[in-house]
Amino acid sequence: MTGAAGQLGADLCRLLEARLAEPDSPVRAWAGLGRAELDITDPARVRAVLRDQARPAKIQGGLVVINTAAWTDVDGAETDEPGAYTANATGPAHLAAACAEVDATLVHLSTDYVFDGRATKPYETGDETGPACAYGRTKLAGEGAVRALLPASSYVVRTAWVYGRTGGNFVKTISRLARERGAVSVVVDQTGSPTWSADLAAGLLDLVASSAPPGVYHCTNTGETTWYGFARQIMAEIGLDPATVSATTTDSFPRPAARPAYSVLSTRSWTDAGLTPLRPWGEALHAAFTLAGDDLRG
């Protein structure tokens, strides 16, 4: 697994370690690699690491690579699109090419930002893409490279609005601002599906263990809300009054990169493959605070 130090990568490490200890677990061994161990933008290093990992994996049933490494600074990509492209498109291409050489499976994480955000119903995997910012363009290019180079054994998994105990995210920001200011203003005109990284990690491992055909999938916690609605629920979870959250609009908070107004991803591809959808986002948020509340409060 790449990107082990990141939000999703850290939860995958915790889950893989737990699964390894289970009787009759399909997980025989695992390795979580950060950028120091595996810089996916270095093709020679990628080939060398995957060859080393593939040798023992052949005995254990085959190598699966889950790529969570990415440039995730959405606004920063507007001023350095070539840098974001290197991480989000060239790097995944190196992984896909190396996986093809050693007969490995690749699971590559992508994003709702590949769509233009103007839909009024959840996006299906086959809907027309049209990213409105540099970050989305680079992630879409990464998707294309992975599927083109490794069509028979690659999965592209789009997700959205991810939060977890590691790194910075919306949940931690709202928790901190609530303590510092007592009230916050949050946009009400952007809609999506908040996704707990621990649930997403479990979904990815379920995908790997399934007989789902290679292709593009959507995986988020189910249901939808606005950032405003999400913030109000966070307030309730930390024991503060949701009424202290006021609604504002995207125009009131201009950012370098355009944000999708609507980025709900349909789970039809997931369920059609026989996979169990992730629980509703509100249930996941409550579970996240129950299990990792201190970390999420920042």
**Alpha carbons 248 and 231: distance in angstroms, whole number:** 12
Q: Tell me the pLDDT tens digit for each residue of 208-246.
A: 999 999 999 999 999 999 999 999 999 999 999 999 999
Q: Tell me the pLDDT tens digit for each residue of 17-55.
A: 998 888 877 787 899 999 999 999 999 999 999 999 988
As given in the structure block, the two tokens for residue 58 are 């052949």
Catalytic residue among 113, 123, 135, 228: 135
Indicate whether 61 pLDDT > 80.
no
Q: Of 176, 295, 188, whose CA–CA distance to 240 is shortest?
A: 176
Fold (CATH) for 7-169+194-223+263-279: Rossmann fold (3.40.50)
As given in the structure block, the two tokens for residue 281 are 């986002």
Q: Tell me the pLDDT tens digit for each residue of 168-218.
A: 999 999 999 998 998 999 999 999 999 999 999 999 999 999 999 999 999
CA atoms 118, 120, 122, 125: torsion sign: negative
Domain ranges of the chain: 7-169+194-223+263-279
Q: Is 262 a catalytic residue?
A: no
Is pTM, for the whole model, over 0.85?
yes
Indicate whether 59 pLDDT > 60.
no
Helix 281-296 to helix 170-181 angle, to the nearest 10 degrees?
A: 60
